[in-house]
Each structure stands twice: as structure tokens, then as C-alpha cells.
């Protein structure tokens, strides 16, 4: 390419010309490769170049989009995914809730890479829908057992020193439909009530320092501005540890679905405690025992008593490839992948089994391994075309090992809904199809 080819259009044309020359030269090699690829497939057609027939946009041909100009800047002032990816969306289970106001939608885990959940795909959980809050008319009141009660605007909040963390939020009902038997034949529905975002805001401890808490203060009540007035009692230890009042998610203002303009974020704890559309924090000396910590979000045990305040989301994991949405298409080498997480800290280790838990192989932890965040794991595996029972088992930095269903039921009985973190099994059929089964 000449130095004087200055305009972008010229540059693109030059690139296309270079490409054409290259393709003409290397046509023979491309054809050889095409044959190789076709031969590798189970049903490989043994005709040289057959894989290319009818595929006029594949090499060595030059597709029309390489020979023309594309759309310009600001075609989408707020960007959106390729239309070819329009199947990557949140979905709900229509029979699960009576309406869409007090309901839930699920993150499409099978379609995601890395550990960050794009804001548009974060699962939604509302008790009374999304309130259309005008941030200029929203305030956070901090009162109760404090020396100096305050009412903060969103702008006031942003004047405090901020911090950013990558942490998961998981609804404790994640997998709740699976307590008694395998039911949902999709990863999106067995594990999709979890997300992992970068959250930015102010440490709750900073705000509590500002108001000054009284000597006997032991609890914080967080209340939302939505029609459900959702409220939870948070022990002071957590409030002073890593609880945050956040106003940004993945670098931009919180989405309305996630609590715009501000939400409480309790890293590692059941999502229900991360009160959205936060309007009030009351400091007290006892828990409030509101609806969401008595009639709901308690765990009925085998002896008829209910476990209360089960705040932490314990260590859990799931294989995300293969899974019902992502079957295998041909035998050969794959990277089996999955996600692990623990509300207690970092993931230390993940093992994968292909025979329903009889033998285990250590997986590799990939990319960032952060506390209370999704952690991706991978393991190369040669599929021989036979059936398999694929499982993952995570261990966190406290040494806690993800339980089997038998261990979980021994500890918790069979009447729970929340906090199901048992080892999950995908049954791989010899067709490559994957289905949800349960092994105790
Ligand atoms: N004010 C308010 N906060 C709320 C809720 C709600 O309905 N109202 N739902 C809770 C529940 S049950 C969960 S699991 C999380 C879900 O967070 P997300 O919708 O951002 O994924 O928000 C919690 N905070
Ligand atoms: Mo939840």
C-alpha cells in the first residue's frame, strides 16, 4: 500500500485488492485446508473443496461487505449487538409466576464468555415491577440510631470517595425448581438467576462514619422505593465490611432493572438483600423481621424448623459448555467450560467429571479469579461420541467443597426452595444432545 493513500475508502479498497491477490496466490492451500476441515467432520464429504460449494462468501471469494462501505458512525448512538446474535436474550418461565410484575427473567449463561454479564442480560427479579424513578426526585435517607441523620441526593452520594468491584449477584432461588428433581432442560433456567458486573459506588461504612452510629447499633434496615417497599435487615458487621451503595454498573449508570438510580450491593450474599431503588437506611439494635426475612427467604429444614438469615451464597458451579442449549455436533476435541462462584471468597479449585462423579479431573481457572465473583474454568476433552454424565465440583478458598444432592438433603431436608448449590449433572447423549438429569 502506498503512503499517500490517505482516505479510509482508498485504504479499504487497497486492503480488498491485497486480499484478492493473496487469495489468488493461496487458492491451492485454501482448497487443501477446506478438504482437511471437511474430512475432520463426522459426515465429512471427501470431495475437494466441497465445503465451499454454494458458500459464495467464504474464502477464496470476497464477500460483498468487503467490497463496499459499511454504515457510518452514530448509526447506533447507543450500541447494540449484531442482528445475528438476536437469540442472546433474557427469558422467563411463563408458568413460574402469575404475571410479569412480580416475576423473574434469566441470564443466558450458555451464550456468555468471560465473567462479566452485559448489563442488558442481567437476570431481573422484581416484586412490584420497575419504578420509573426520576433521579432528581430521589433521595437516600439515613436515620435511626445515628448522631447526624442525613438525606442525600444522588449527586451528594457521588461526592463521597467511590470504589469499584467485580462481584456476582445471585438470587437464592437460583436452581430452586431443581430441589426435588431435574426439571428445567436449559442452563438458562437451572442456573440463570446469577450475574456478575463491575459495580461502582460508595462503601456503606463510609456513609455510616458520616452519620455516626450509636453505641448499641447492630442492624441496618434497607428499604426500596418500588411499590413492594422491599426491605431487609443487614447485620452491622456486613454493613461495615464490604456493603456498597452503588450507582454504576459496568461503567455506566445503573440500569432501571438493576435499581436506578441507586441500590444496595451486598457482595456474596443472597441477591434479595441487595435492595434496589434504595430510599432508606435505618440503623437499629435488632433485626426487623420483615416479610422478606420471615415468610420468604427462610429455609424450611427436615425437623420443621426454619433457618433464618441464610445470607451467604455458598460455593457453587455449573458446566456451561456443553449444556442443553449448546450440544456437541461432532466427536473430537473440545474445551469444556463452566462457571464457579462462592459468596465466601475466591474459587480455589474446580474438578470436572465425565462419569457422574466417579472420576474427577482438575480444570484450569481462566482469566480473573476474584473473590465473590464468577470464575470461569475450562478443561480440554476428547469426545469419543459416547454418552457421558458431565459434572463440575468447586472448592472455595475456605476449603468448602460443593455438596452432592445427598449431602445437601442430609443437611437441609427436602422442603427448601432457596440456597440449592448441589453438584449439577448434564447427561450427554451419543447424539451430542445434552439434557438435565439428577444424580444423588
Ligand atoms: N427494591 C427491591 N429490591 C430488590 C428486589 C425487589 O423486588 N425490590 N428484588 C430482590 C431480589 S429477590 C433479587 S434476587 C435481586 C435481583 O437483582 P437484579 O434484578 O438486579 O438481578 O434484587 C433484589 N432487590
Ligand atoms: Mo431473589
| Sequential pLDDT tens for the chain (440 residues) | 333 334 434 433 443 444 444 344 444 443 344 334 433 333 333 334 444 445 799 999 999 999 999 999 999 999 999 999 999 999 999 999 999 999 999 999 999 999 999 999 999 999 999 999 999 999 999 999 999 999 999 999 999 999 999 999 999 999 999 988 999 999 999 999 999 999 999 999 999 999 999 999 999 999 999 999 999 999 999 999 999 999 999 999 999 999 999 999 999 999 999 999 999 999 999 999 998 899 889 988 888 898 899 999 999 999 999 999 999 999 999 999 999 999 999 999 999 999 999 999 999 999 999 999 999 999 999 999 999 999 999 999 999 999 999 999 999 988 888 999 999 999 999 999 999 999 98
What's CA 402's distance to the chain center, in Å?
A: 19
CATH number 2.60.40.650 given to 316-437: yes
Q: How far is the CA of 3 from the centre of ligand 1 (A)?
A: 57
Atom of ligand 1 nearest to the CA of 229: 1
Q: How far is the CA of 174 from the centre of ligand 1 (A)?
A: 13
Q: How far is the CA of 401 from the centre of ligand 2 (A)?
A: 24
What are the residue boundaries of the structural domains of the chain, listed by start?
Answer: 3-63, 100-307, 316-437
pTM: 0.88
Q: Is the beta carbon of 416 within 6 A of some atom in ligand 1? A: no
DSSP 174-219: TTGGGSSS----SHHHHH-SEEEEEEEEEEHHHHHHHH-B-TT--E
Longest dimension (CA), the chain: 82
Q: What is the pLDDT of residue 341?
A: 99
Residue whose grid cell is 439494635: 285
Query: How far is it, in rounded angstroms, from Cα 338 to Cα 183?
Result: 20
Q: What is the pLDDT of residue 135?
A: 98
Q: And the C-alpha cell for 307?
A: 433457618
Q: Using the CB atoms, write b or e for 90-120: b if 16+ within 10 Å.
A: bebbeeeeeeeeebbbbbbbbbbeebbbebe
Q: Is the beta carbon of 122 within 6 A of some atom in ligand 1? A: yes
Q: Is the beta carbon of 374 within 6 A of some atom in ligand 1? A: no
Atom of ligand 1 nearest to the CA of 170: 14
Query: How far is it, in rounded angstroms, from Cα 383 to Cα 39?
Result: 17
CA 396 to each of CA 54, 153, 200, 341, 380: distance values in angstroms, whole numbers, following the listed order: 51, 39, 25, 8, 22
Q: Is the beta carbon of 279 within 6 A of some atom in ligand 1? A: no
Q: Is the beta carbon of 258 within 6 A of some atom in ligand 1? A: yes
Are 140 and 281 spatial neighbours (Cβ–Cβ below 8 Å)? yes
Q: Using the CB atoms, write b or e for 217-250: b if 16+ within 10 Å.
A: bbbbbbbbbbebbbbbbbebebbeebbbbbbbbb
CATH code linked to domain 100-307: 3.90.420.10
Q: Is the beta carbon of 322 within 6 A of some atom in ligand 1? A: no
Q: What is the pLDDT of residue 54?
A: 54
* Radius of gyration of the chain measured on its C-alpha atoms: 26
3-class SS of residue 50: helix
Q: 3-class secondary structure for 231-289?
A: EEEEEHHHHHHCCEEEEEECCEECCHHHCCCCEEECCCEEHHHCCCCEEEEEEECCCCC
Task: For residue 281, list its beta bridge partners.
Answer: 142, 222
Q: What is the pLDDT of residue 30?
A: 35
Nearest CA to ligand 1 atom 10: 272
Q: What is the pLDDT of residue 83?
A: 97
Q: How far is the CA of 224 from the centre of ligand 1 (A)?
A: 9
Q: Is the beta carbon of 314 within 6 A of some atom in ligand 1? A: no
Element housing 428 (H / E): strand 425-428
Q: And the C-alpha cell for 357?
A: 462423579
Q: Is the beta carbon of 228 within 6 A of some atom in ligand 1? A: yes
Q: Is the beta carbon of 107 within 6 A of some atom in ligand 1? A: no
**Sign of the torsion formed by the C-alpha atoms of 354, 355, 361 and 367:** positive
- DSSP H helix total and E strand total for the chain: 7, 23
Q: How far apart are the first and last CA of the chain?
A: 65
Q: Tell me the best of 130, 132, 230 to mutate to test the pocket of ligand 1, counting ligand atoms within 8 Å of each CB and taking the most.
A: 230
Nearest CA to ligand 1 atom 24: 275
Query: How far is it, in rounded angstroms, from Cα 240 to Cα 56?
Result: 62
Amino acid at each position: 500500500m502506498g503512503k499517500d493513500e490517505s482516505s479510509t475508502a482508498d485504504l479499504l479498497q487497497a486492503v480488498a485488492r491485497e486480499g484478492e491477490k493473496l487469495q489468488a496466490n493461496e487458492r491451492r492451500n485454501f482448497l487443501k485446508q477446506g478438504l482437511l476441515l471437511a474430512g475432520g467432520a463426522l459426515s465429512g464429504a471427501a470431495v475437494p473443496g466441497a465445503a465451499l460449494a454454494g458458500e459464495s462468501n467464504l474464502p477464496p471469494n470476497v464477500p460483498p461487505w468487503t467490497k463496499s462501505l459499511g454504515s457510518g458512525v452514530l448509526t447506533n448512538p447507543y450500541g447494540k449487538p449484531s442482528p445475528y446474535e438476536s437469540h442472546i436474550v433474557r427469558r422467563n418461565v411463563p408458568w413460574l409466576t402469575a404475571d410479569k410484575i412480580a416475576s423473574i427473567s434469566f441470564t443466558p449463561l450458555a451464550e456468555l464468555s468471560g465473567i462479566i454479564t452485559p448489563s442488558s442480560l442481567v437476570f431481573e427479579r422484581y416484586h412490584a415491577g420497575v419504578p420509573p424513578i426520576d433521579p432528581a426526585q430521589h433521595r437516600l435517607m439515613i436515620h435511626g440510631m445515628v448522631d447526624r441523620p442525613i438525606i442525600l441526593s444522588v449527586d451528594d452520594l457521588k461526592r463521597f470517595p467511590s470504589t469499584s468491584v467485580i462481584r456476582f449477584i445471585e438470587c437464592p432461588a437460583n436452581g430452586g425448581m431443581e430441589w426435588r428433581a431435574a426439571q428445567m432442560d436449559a442452563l438458562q433456567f437451572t442456573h440463570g438467576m446469577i450475574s456478575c458486573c463491575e459495580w461502582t459506588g460508595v462503601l456503606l461504612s463510609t456513609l455510616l462514619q458520616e452519620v455516626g452510629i450509636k453505641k448499641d447499633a447492630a442492624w441496618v434496615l434497607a428499604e426500596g422505593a418500588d411499590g413492594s417497599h422491599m426491605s431487609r435487615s443487614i447485620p452491622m458487621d456486613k454493613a461495615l465490611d464490604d456493603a456498597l451503595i452503588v450507582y454504576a454498573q459496568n461503567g455506566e449508570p445503573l440500569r432501571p432493572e438493576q435499581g436506578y438510580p441507586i441500590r444496595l450491593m451486598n457482595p456474596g450474599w443472597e441477591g434479595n438483600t441487595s435492595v434496589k431503588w434504595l430510599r432508606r437506611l435505618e440503623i437499629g439494635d435488632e433485626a426487623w423481621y420483615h416479610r422478606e426475612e420471615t415468610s420468604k427467604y427462610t429455609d424450611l429444614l427436615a425437623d420443621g424448623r426454619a433457618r433464618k438469615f441464610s445470607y451467604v451464597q455458598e460455593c457453587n458451579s455449573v458446566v456451561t459448555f456443553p449444556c442443553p442449549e449448546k450440544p456437541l455436533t461432532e466427536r473430537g476435541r473440545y474445551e469444556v467450560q463452566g462457571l464457579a462462584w462462592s459468596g465466601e471468597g475466591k474459587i480455589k479449585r474446580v474438578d470436572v467429571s465425565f462419569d457422574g462423579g466417579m472420576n474427577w479431573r482438575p480444570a484450569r481457572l481462566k482469566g480473573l479469579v476474584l473473590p465473590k465473583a464468577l470464575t470461569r474454568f475450562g478443561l480440554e476433552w476428547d469426545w469419543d461420541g459416547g454418552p457421558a454424565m458431565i459434572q463440575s465440583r468447586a472448592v472455595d478458598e475456605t476449603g468448602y467443597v460443593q455438596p452432592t444432592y445427598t449431602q445437601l438433603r442430609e443437611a437441609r431436608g427436602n422442603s427448601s426452595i432457596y440456597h440449592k448449590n448441589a453438584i449439577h449433572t448434564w447427561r450427554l447423549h451419543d447424539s451430542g444432545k445434552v439434557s438435565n438429569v439428577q444424580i444423588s
